[in-house]
Amino acid sequence: MLKFILRRILVMIPQLFILSILIFLLAKAMPGDALTGQLASNPKMDAQTLHELKQKLGMYDPYYVQYARWIKGLLHGNLGMSIIHQTPVTSLIAGKMWNTVLLGAAVLILSYLIAIPLGIIGGRWTDTWADKMIVGYNYLTYATPLFIFALLMLFIFGFVLGWFPTSGSVDIRVENGTFAYYMSKLNHLILPALSGAIVSTTVTIQYLRNEIIDTKIKDFVKTARAKGVSESKVYTRHIFRNSLLPIAAFLGYDIVSLIGGSVFLESIYGYPGIGQLFLTSIMQRDFSVVTALVMISGLATLIGTLLSDIILSAVDPRIRIE
Amino acid sequence: MKAELTDQKQPKVKKQKKQHGVLSIMWREIVKDKLALGALILLGLILIIVYGVSLLLDQDKIVTVDFLSIYSPPSAEHWLGTDYGGRDILGQLIIGAKNSFTIGLCITLLTGLIGLTVGLIAGYFGGRTDNIIMRIIDFFLILPTLMLIIVFVTIAPKYNVFYFILIMSLFLWTGKARLIRSKTLAERELDYVSASKTLGTPDWKIIIREVLPNLSSIIIVNLTLNLAGNIGIESGLTYLGFGLPESTPSLGTLVSYATNPDVLENKWWIWLPASLLILVMMLCINYIGQALKRAADARQRLG
């Protein structure tokens, strides 16, 4: 087991290295930079100061020097300065990161809360009307793009019915740290989290349902029935235990899709997280923030798939042999 | 039970194969499934209307700004009202649907071609070739695709539709390559491939004439389901402002007007029809794809 994990981590290192080179080259290829953009708007900026600033920031150094400096900073947890915000990128991201993590966790929890019962019902009572509704629900949510669903939810529950706030992550009038503050945060979280969760239940429901249907006819289940185990115990003790475990392995892959989803969710609900920060930064050409965010997302994706592989191999020993 | 089923099916399938190709088996499955047939007819109607009307439409007239009728609600003159520039929504909807579908189709075909070539080569030759290709695909899997597509779109020097298709295809071929590779790996172990090899048939001939036709049903299913996904991704990116350039409006362009809270809350006729059209098209294509998927698997067919 330890050997398997170590090997997986070893594979990660060259992947991260190539990713960092790719991102660095992309950053260099971005048209214009945040400083030149200020030339027109900032009266204190003229061509001479611009030139000096660029020299000070090392923008004229050869590429490999700049890359080495960037990587060195990265390893020290220094992601550079945001030129637009005039703050270190690290603190800029840290401020938004928790909002995104909170939203992601809420999406995950809600999606499992919806998917697991539905998958179990569909698998246990196959071909009943409830199962048919679940299959229909699955078709619908599988085909619906996240951004359209989120927009419709915002329109219906945010504007037409007015049940939930329509933007932001917390009411600015409430004092930080009070009970009302946390309630307001929760209130702002429900709608985006629910939109994200409903669209991402498909895989779990389908997997669980198929898994239970397959397990139902296996010999050990027949043996249990023949021994006289009650029907509900056959399900809770024998079938669910077998079918539910692999679900845990989806966790890592879910992290991967959450990153892409957060960009849409945060932009639609005006939720201040890293997805929104990414979009505004790229529009303002603040590319030190952009590169940092892409790098962090790549790392999170890597860790997510690693996590899934480890859980999967812990649950199913056959995978380790490969 | 299982053995019995396969025993029954074997002669039947063989007989059908002589009479019908993959396509007619798929067609029968769709006709048997009333909902899938309905989806196919609805999608066909939408496409005929969209492509037919867009031939007749005067595109210049639609994109011309008319300040006298800004944000006018649906009326006899403008069936679906107008946008902030007084432009007709219905006309934009039709052009947008045409662009979205065409571009989704182009991306699907291009990624299909790349994925198929790479997957067949990796799966058929195996060994070192397969190893190298799989390492590259593994690398693509850890990329934060959506963010990188946005970055690529931003840095493209002369950005146009052609670039957009290329950028999307660059990131979306890996899933297909993996699927085709795993199926080819299984196919290559079968007797007919070794028989052909012994007879001295060149590799490329075995791949194209023998392995490829056996994978055709899987490919068709995968391409259909991907088409729906690609239309979704394209309109989503356009919604964010990183998709099609403004000269080629897509359905996502209309939906993106809803980023303005006033439009979202009070002017539903601008963004809602486009959203629903995306939804309906994706549902139809997905439903057809699911029926084809059943047709590709003899055990699941309805008839």
Given the structure tokens 């309805």, which residue do they identify?
Answer: B302
- SS3 state at B147: helix
User: How many Cβ atoms from other residues are within 10 Å of residue B226's Cβ?
Assistant: 23
- What does the pLDDT read at residue B116? 92
Q: Which residues of B touch A268 (CB under 8 A)?
A: 259
Task: Specify if A25 maps to a domain.
Answer: no
Residues of A in contact with B236 (CB under 8 A): 145-147, 264
> Among all residues of chain B, which has the CA nearest to that of A261?
B146
- Tell whether A211 is covered by a domain: yes
**Shared-domain flag, residues A55 and A188:** no
Co-location of A72 and A104 in the same domain: no
User: Do A266 and A140 belong to one domain?
Assistant: yes
Q: Do A64 and A154 lie in a common domain?
A: no
Interface test with A, best of B1, B146, B171, B290 (most A CBs within 10 A): B146
**Do residue A72 and residue A187 come from a single domain?**
no
* pLDDT at B85 > cutoff 70: no
- Domain assignment present for residue A259? The answer is yes
Q: What percent of chain A has pLDDT over 70?
A: 88
- Residue at A150 is within a domain: yes
- Is A134 part of a structural domain of the chain? yes
Most confident residue range from A159-163, B163-167, B269-273: B163-167
Stretch (H or E) spanning B82: none
Distance separating alpha carbons of residues A70 and A57, to the nearest angstrom: 12
Alpha carbon distances (Å) from A173 to A53, A181, B230: 40, 9, 42
CB atoms within 10 A of CB A177: 8
Tokens of B253: 């362009």
Same domain for A193 and A55, yes or no, is: no
Torsion angle defined by CA atoms of residues B112, B118, B119 and B122, in that order, rounded to the nearest 10 degrees: 180
Percent of chain A as helix, strand, coil, to the nearest 5? 80, 0, 20
- Nearest-CB residue to A282 (from B150, B259, B278): B150
Comparison of pLDDT for B279 and B156, the residue scoring more? B279
Q: pLDDT, tens digit, for every residue of B188-236?
A: 888 888 888 888 888 888 888 888 888 888 888 889 989 998 998 899 9
* Closest in A142, A152, A167 to B286, CB measured: A142
- ipTM beyond cut 0.95: no
Integer Cα distance of A206 and A138 in angstroms: 8
Pair (A210, A309) in one structural domain:
yes
pLDDT band (50, 70, 90) for residue B1: very low
Nearest residue on chain A to B145, judged by CA atoms?
A260
- The whole-number pLDDT of residue B92 equals 82
Residue A154 sits in a domain whose CATH number is: 1.10.3720.10
Whether B134 has its CB under 8 Å from any CB of chain A: the answer is no
Same domain, A35 and A142: no
Measured between CB atoms, does B170 come within 8 Å of chain A?
no
Query: What pLDDT is stored for residue A319 in this prediction?
Result: 59
A306 in the same domain as A166 = yes
Distance CA A198, CA B104 (A): 25
Nearest CB among B142, B150, B236 relative to A15 is that of B142
**What average pLDDT does this structure show over A302-316?**
81
Residues in CB range of A35: below 8 A, 6 or more apart: A45, A50, A53, A54, A83
Question: Measured between alpha carbons, how far is B186 from B81 in angstroms, rounded to an integer?
Answer: 56
For residues A65 and A108, state if they share a domain.
Answer: no
pLDDT band at A31 (very low <50, low <70, confident <90, very high): low
Q: DSSP labels for A77-145?
A: T---EETTTTEEHHHHHHHHHHHHHHHHHHHHHHHHHHHHHHHHHHHHTTTSHHHHHHHHHHHHHHHS-
The percent of chain B in helix, strand and coil, each rounded to the nearest 5, is 80, 0, 20
State residue B12's pLDDT score.
46
> Which ranges of B189-267 does DSSP label H, i.e. alpha helix?
191-199, 203-205, 212-240, 251-256, 261-266
Looking at the domain assignment, is residue A47 inside a domain? Answer: yes
Cα A15 to Cα A20: distance, rounded to the nearest angstrom = 9
Asked whether residue B18 carries a pLDDT value surpassing 70, the answer given is no
Q: Which of A78, A107, A137 is the C-terminal boundary of a domain?
A: A78
Model confidence pLDDT, tens digit, residues A261-279: 888 888 888 888 888 888 8
Closest CA to A185 of A204, A201, A172: A172
> In whole angstroms, what is the distance from residue A256 CA to residue B194 CA?
41
**Of the residues A53, A78, A103, the one at which a domain ends:** A78
Give the number of C-alpha atoms closer than 13 A to the C-alpha of residue B50, restricted to the C-beta side: 23
The 10 Å Cβ neighbour count of residue B144 is 25
Is the residue at A1 inside a domain?
no
The H or E element containing residue A228 is none
- DSSP string covering B212-229: HHHHHHHHHHHHHHHHHH
| Closest by CA position to A169, among listed A235, A84, A106 | A106
Please tell me the distance in Å from A183's CA to the nearest CA on chain B.
24
**A149 and A218 within one domain:** yes
Task: Tell me the Ramachandran region of residue A128: left when phi exceeds 0, alpha when psi lies from -120 to 50, beta otherwise.
Answer: beta
List phi, psi (to 5°) of A88: -60, 140
What's the pLDDT band for A44 if we cut at 50, 70, 90? low
**Total structural domains in chain A?**
2
Those of residues 36-55 in A touching chain B at CB distance below 8 A are none
**A77–chain B nearest CA distance, Å:** 20
Please check the confidence at residue B124 and state whether its pLDDT lies above 80.
yes
Distance CA B218, CA B292 (A): 9
Q: Does A155 touch chain B (CB under 8 A)?
A: yes
Domain-embedded: residue A4: no
Nearest by CB to A145, from B138, B232, B241: name it: B232
Give the largest CA-CA distance in chain B: 77
* Residues A63 and A123 placed together within one structural domain of the fold: no
Domain containing A250: what range? 94-272+302-315
